[in-house]
Amino acid sequence: MSKRIIDSVGKRQSSVTQLKLAVLISGGGTNLQALIDACAGTDFPAGISLVISNQENAGGLMRADKAEIPTRVIRHLDFTDRDAFDDALTAALEAANVELICLAGFMRILGRAFIEHWQDRLINIHPALLPAFKGLHTHRHALEAGVRIAGCTVHYVRAEVDVGPIIAQAAVAVLPGDTEESLGQRVLKQEHRLYPLAVELIARGHVRIEGGNAKLESDWAGEDVTLINPLPAPEK
């Protein structure tokens, strides 16, 4: 699947096997940036071959340009139906020999045929601890529900929205006085750590899907790693 590449002179020299990624965006692309930065690291086992946006003014396109990553704008408005749009995406992805698609703030619902075509090669980052708070406005819903711990999830995509085998999650404490914005910022910071981690786990072959769940073959956090909110009073 992957091929061994050596970067051209003047760029990062790497001899690790790199998984070919595509990142699909619709907006500012801070998660795209986190992936770009991770891929620039020596021996990161993946590289971005293509960035696709359905919005021509997505800020993330400039991030890709700056990193000299090929971009494509495929506007959903230019297609008569969802399948035609999805087919155009697949054609672009296959032309770039993409092995793993990372949805990063891509604001289009993909059709069943596309998702099945790319089954287990299509992942998404969602700003909540799935299966809680699917859909939009996750931080508002988390605050309304009064949860003490929020977070984000990277998961394989299935036909149902925000459902699919969970690869990795990061949790943050909800603080008194948190607003959608403050909580969102704190979660987003963790998204930027989590997405590269999930990609790395996949690229290194540490993730397999079994019985509808993703199983990891790498180190776990360990039973002592916990986030308790509020903090228990110190022992006297």
User: Residue 106 half-sphere exposure, CB side, CA atoms within 13 Å?
Assistant: 29
Q: How far is the CB of 34 from ligand GRF (least distance, A)?
A: 8
Comparison of 27 and 70: residue with beta carbon closer to ligand GRF: 27
Comparison of 33 and 49: residue with beta carbon closer to ligand GRF: 33
Choice among 126, 139, 155, 192 that is catalytic: 126
Q: How far is the CB of 113 from ligand GRF (least distance, A)?
A: 22
In sign, the C-alpha dihedral spanning 44, 50, 55, 61 is: positive
Comparison of 14 and 202: residue with beta carbon closer to ligand GRF: 202
CA dihedral 142, 143, 145, 148 (to 10 degrees): 80
Residue nearest to ligand GRF (CB): 105
Q: Which of residues 156-215 bind ligand GRF (CB under 6 A)?
A: 188, 191
Tell me the C-alpha distance between 22 and 101, whole Å: 5
Asked if residues 214 and 166 have their Cβ atoms less than 8 Å apart, the reply is yes
Comparison of 28 and 205: residue with beta carbon closer to ligand GRF: 28
Q: Which of residues 21-50 bind ligand GRF (CB under 6 A)?
A: 27-32
Asked if residues 45 and 16 have their Cβ atoms less than 8 Å apart, the reply is yes
Count, residues near ligand GRF per rule CB under 6 A: 14
Comparison of 104 and 183: residue with beta carbon closer to ligand GRF: 104
Asked if residues 173 and 148 have their Cβ atoms less than 8 Å apart, the reply is yes
Tell me the C-alpha distance between 98 and 188, whole Å: 26
12: nearest Cα among 46, 39, 50: 39
| Residue 139 a catalytic site member | no
C-beta atoms surrounding 103 within 10 Å: 21
Q: Which of residues 92-131 bind ligand GRF (CB under 6 A)?
A: 104-105, 125-127
Q: How far is the CB of 120 from ligand GRF (least distance, A)?
A: 19
Q: How far is the CB of 188 from ligand GRF (least distance, A)?
A: 6
Q: Which of residues 135-164 bind ligand GRF (CB under 6 A)?
A: 152
Reduced to 3 DSSP states, what percent helix, strand and coil does the chain have, rounded to the nearest 5?
Answer: 30, 25, 45
Q: How far is the CB of 183 from ligand GRF (least distance, A)?
A: 11
Asked if residues 81 and 103 have their Cβ atoms less than 8 Å apart, the reply is no
Active site residues: 126
Which residues contribute to the site for ligand GRF (CB under 6 A)? 27-32, 104-105, 125-127, 152, 188, 191
